[in-house]
Structure 1
């Protein structure tokens, strides 16, 4: 089934809007921070160490070793805290919140305009 002319026009406009949003300075900063987080070896190492500690905790629980399980959970919690407090992660999460706020604002504006047009037609 071939899309209607209206659907094609809507898709073209949506593509333009997405491109404009992608060019926004706030979104660009978010993408840059995201790339830095993904390339950071210390953060990647922390993630692997957290996973290992969590896996250890599950195994210790399975083999009924509560003290070892508690120690593994504590280690995982400490590593998670270190990860969460890393300046790059803090900056990334703040930028993510700002990007989400921008996208929510754009979504709200679109919804408002659509509702306005529907009311005019009705």
Structure 2
């Protein structure tokens, strides 16, 4: 690829990145992501889940099946509470929407690139040698 084409690709990529940064789906996702990361309740639940899982592993290692089951049950309870939190539900919905947008965009770009490559190959075959 020559430098002129590479510069054009870089410019197009920068433009596309800027447009995505302004896209409503992406901005909603980013705002929710920040709210989830800053939510004390969710952070405490995450820490509780990790601690219960760690306890379960230790209890299993030391041959304490009842304590292990209790720790796993607590981890499951906290995980369920985490997953049912309204912010987590909204975040996951926005994540799916943002992912769908990006997959659609990626498929469109891939199609355009493939078309351009095929056209490039065809024009090379037709050139006299």
Q: TM-score interval w.r.t. the shorter chain?
A: over 0.9
Who is 1:54 aligned against?
53
The offset of 1:107, in angstroms, is 0.5
* Structure 1, gaps ≥5 residues long: none
Count of aligned positions: 120
Say if 2:80 is the partner of 1:81.
yes
RMSD (Å) for aligned C-alpha atoms: 1.1
Tell me the residue number matched to 1:29: 28
Q: Which residue of 1 aligns with 2:11?
A: 12
CA distance in 2, matches of 1:59, 1:118: 56
1:59 Cα deviation from its structure 2 partner: 0.6
Cα distance between partner residues in 2 of 1:33 and 1:47: 17
Uncovered stretches (5+) of structure 2, i.e. residues with no partner = 123-129
**Structure whose alpha-carbon radius of gyration is higher:** 2
Moved over 3 A (4+): none
